[in-house]
Homo-oligomer: A and B are copies of this chain.
């Protein structure tokens, strides 16, 4: 499906970027829902360039350090916009190692289960606080056509997801406490 292709094209519509900058984007705003590291990005940029969907200018900083600043072409923009209109079939599976572990949790004693859950809880709570802090950047809903709008709604979604996960963990802990005290 070449999602990375479209992730890159979408970012380049905002502004021309180097491979290094693209890699950074995947570690900030987009990090909750997409990621790619530079070892994937550089070959993909080369491919997109061969396909005529992006071009680049070489910039020099200092004496010799070269950076390729990639721009999206007219063709690339058309391809991206076309992709953007497509309906997604919701994936049957969202892989989640922790939930797989919990699926098998009858093989653990109650204390261990609670330890594992508390550990997850703490990590999710920490992320939740980071997301809430980030969302302070948005005292109000950005304009629909602003490129902040997308970040705003996926951030909201990340917070809601986080909330739901923490509630689930708390529910699991409750079940385990009730189930083990009654014995």
Contact = CB atoms under 8 A, between A and B. Distances in A.
A81 B146 CA distance: 51
6 contacts: A10-B100, A84-B104, A84-B108, A90-B98, A106-B150, A153-B172
B150 A157 contact: no
Interface of A: 1, 3, 6-7, 10, 13, 29-35, 80-81, 84-108, 110, 112, 116, 119-120, 123-124, 127, 141, 143-147, 149-151, 153-154, 156-157, 160-161, 163-165, 167-168, 171-172, 175-176, 178-180
A112 B167 CA distance: 33
Contacts of A141: 175, 178-179
B144 A156 contact: no
Contacts of A179: 141, 143-144, 149
A170 B122 CA distance: 29
Contacts of A33: 93-96, 99-100, 103
